[in-house]
Structure 1
C-alpha cells in the first residue's frame, strides 16, 4: 500500500497542475481585479459624464460541452436592495471568445434590459459620496443556448444562466464618485 501511495501521489499532483493550467479564465485590457476603472467605463447620464464604454473582455479554457457564453456586469453595492445590473448578454456564440471595448451585443446573442432600461452596456454611476462600489464582470460557459422570454428580467436571466453554467470567471473592478 505504501508503494501505491508514493507512486500515485506524484501523479495526482502532476494532473491537478495540468487541470489548473486549463482553467476557465477572464482577462481584460481595460479593467483589472481590485483596480479602479477609468471614466471610459462610467455611464453617461444620471449625473455621470463618462464614456459609457464596455471594457474589452477575453476568455479562454472553456470546459468541454460549452455551447454558448453569457457576460454579466453587476454592482452589488448599489443602494437598491438588489444591486444593479449594468450588462447581461446571453447566448453568445461558442466561437466568440472576446468582446472589444465598446462592444455591441454579438450577432446571435440576446441582450437583457439592464437597470437603466436598455439591452446594452450601461456604465458605472454610483451615487456621489456613496463610497467605492464593486463591479463584477463575469463570463459564464453555458451547456446550452437559453430559451428566455422576449422581455426576461435580469433576475430570470441570472437564474437561467447559473442553472446552465459549466464554469464562470470574474474580474471585480472598482469605481466611486466623490
Structure 2
C-alpha cells in the first residue's frame, strides 16, 4: 500500500494551517490518499501519532471502519466529511476527531507518523475513547498491510 498527502511530502514539513490554534494554525485535518489496498481487505483504519520522547505517543487522529472503496480523506474531513461508515475516536487532546500538531516550544521538530492499516474485518468495535494501547490491541491479528507517511512540525 502507499499513503500520500497533498499537504506535505514524506519526511517533509506540515504546513501551519494543519496545526492547532495554540501553535498558530487552524486545525484543519490533513488530506490523505492511498492506493494498492490488498485484496481481501474489508476495512481500513488510520492513526496519526507523535512518538517524540516529549509527546510520548500523543494521539492526533484515530479513524476506524473506513470502507475499502474509499481512496482517501479530503482536507478538513474530520467531524464533517468522512467516508460513509468511518468513525473517529478520541485523540489525546480529549476531543473526537483530528487534533493537529502543537509541540511544546523549544522541543525541536516532532514527527507525526500517519499509518494506514488494511484490515481483514469489516468493523472494529471500539468505544469512542479507547487508549492507544486498546486501539493497537484491537488491530492485532487483523492487519493485512500498512503504509506510513511522516510529517514534521516544530516551534
TM-score in same-fold range (> 0.5) = yes
* Map 1:8-27 → 2, pairs under 5 A: 24-27=1-4
Q: Within 2, Cα distance between the matches of 1:152 and 1:167?
A: 22
In structure 2, the residue corresponding to 1:26 is in which secondary structure? strand
RMSD: 1.5
**C-alpha distance after superposition, 1:81-101 (max 9, x if no partner):** x32000000011121121011
Separation in structure 2 between the aligned mates of residue 123 and residue 95 of structure 1, nearest angstrom = 26
Q: Is the 8 A contact 1:41 1:53 kept in 2?
A: yes
Q: Which residue pairs with 1:7 in the alignment?
A: none
Residue number among 146, 152, 155 corresponding to 1:174 in the alignment: 152
Give the gaps of 5 or more residues in structure 1. 1-23
Does structure 1 residue 89 correspond to structure 2 residue 63? yes
- Cα drift, residue 150 of structure 1: 4.4
2:99 corresponds to 1:125: no
Gaps of 5+ in 2: none
**C-alpha deviations, 1:12-31, integer Å up to 9, x for none?**
xxxxxxxxxxxx11111112
- For these two proteins, the number of residue pairs brought into alignment is 151
Are the counterparts in 1 of residues 90 and 128 from structure 2 also a CA contact under 8 Å?
A: no
Q: How does 1:22-171 map to 2 (within 5 A)?
A: 24-44=1-21, 47-77=22-52, 79-80=54-55, 82-104=56-78, 105-144=82-121, 145-171=123-149
Contact 2:4 2:10 in 1 (8 A): no
Using CA pairs under 8 Å that are at least 6 residues apart, name the structure with larger relative contact order, 1 or 2: 2
- Structure 1 length-normalised TM: 0.79
Which has the larger Rg? Answer: 1
